Amino acid sequence: MQRGPLDEMIDRRPTDLAIQSGSRGLVYLIHGVTGTPTEMGYLGRRLARNGWDVYATTLPGHCTRIWDLLKASDKDWTAHVQAQLTFVRERYDYLYVAGLSAGALLALQSSVTVDVDALGILSPTFIYDGWNTPRVRALLPFVMKVAPLHYLLFHADGPPFGIKDAQLQAHIRAAYHPLALIRGWIRDRWAHWKSSGTDAATRANPAASKGYPIFPLKTLSHIDRLIARVRGRLGEVTAPTVILQAREDDMTGPRNGELVYNTIASQQKRLILLDDCYHVITVDKQRKAVANHLIEFFGRQTSTLDTPQTA
């Protein structure tokens, strides 16, 4: 792998994905909460083949153990993204940011404080109005008043896991089976003991590739705080923006994409609704279309930025 500015990325994690080719432009990818950079892997490789450097970050509290997620907050995720984008902004001529789900909110928020050249907003999460919204959300107002419950109550993810592709859905169902989770935990403990806590132990952890099968309600409360903060600043977003959302999104329906489109101040903006997929559009049946739309939109921005401005 070619060396470059991403080798010195601040707060870099073993699970981050970095692809460098000496490009003047970088696409920075942000996965969803309880997800992993793996869900941005296909998208990252497609973008890299079209000439950009790519960096898919690992949000604090992810790809390790559920207890680390319990300790992480929306402020930690925000600070992490802000610091990394500030770092790469100084090293690339063009900076594009794309995020999935809550990662889309972090992308929108970052553009208000860091000068980004374009945004890719994928399955934005503001209103939980999908057909498979967790019923546990109804408990959140009560739980938020009783702080200890934040740490004691969890929601277990279940089918369809935000994915319509039957083969991939079956693969995740098998990975989240209790026996598979126990075997994974044993492998993780063994790798950690053998490696004395080095990067190899992190990579052996199933959460590094599959994400967490459960998440605490505390994390859900932090997502709600992020939603409130970002929604209040949507009118300050001015970067060119493409919004991609599934018509059948099982978690957050098209109303979310429409909210972003109608509220941001960007002069260049597009809303694209996708058929035949659910919430995690970066890995589902329309992942090629998602990549193609981002490549076309970011490519158009690069052409515009490269064109000399006449007086």
Q: Is residue 256 part of a domain?
A: yes
Helix residue ranges per DSSP H, the chain: 41-49, 66-71, 74-89, 102-113, 140-143, 149-152, 166-175, 178-195, 199-204, 207-210, 217-231, 255-263, 287-306
Mean pLDDT of 206-212: 59
pLDDT at site 36: 94
Domain-located, residue 54: yes
Is residue 23's pLDDT more than 70?
A: yes
In a domain, 148, yes or no: no
Residue 161 is assigned to a structural domain of this protein: no
What's the CA gap between 16 and 55, in Å, rounded?
7
Is 310's pLDDT higher than 60? no
The domain that holds 278 is classified in CATH as 3.40.50.1820
Report how far residue 19's alpha carbon sits from residue 49's, in angstroms, rounded to the nearest whole number.
Answer: 10
Domain count, the chain: 1
Does 176 map to a domain?
A: no
**Residue 39 phi/psi, 5° resolution?**
-70, -10
Are residues 104 and 122 in contact, defined by beta-carbon separation less than 8 angstroms?
yes
- Domain assignment present for residue 33? The answer is yes
Lowest mean per-residue pLDDT among 66-80, 149-163, 215-229, 291-305: 149-163
Is 162 part of any domain?
no
Average pLDDT over residues 43-68: 95
Cβ neighbours of residue 155 closer than 8 Å, sequence gap 6 or more: 134, 136, 214, 215, 216, 217, 220
Range of the domain at 48: 5-135+219-306
Predicted TM-score (pTM) of this structure: 0.87
In a domain, 185, yes or no: no
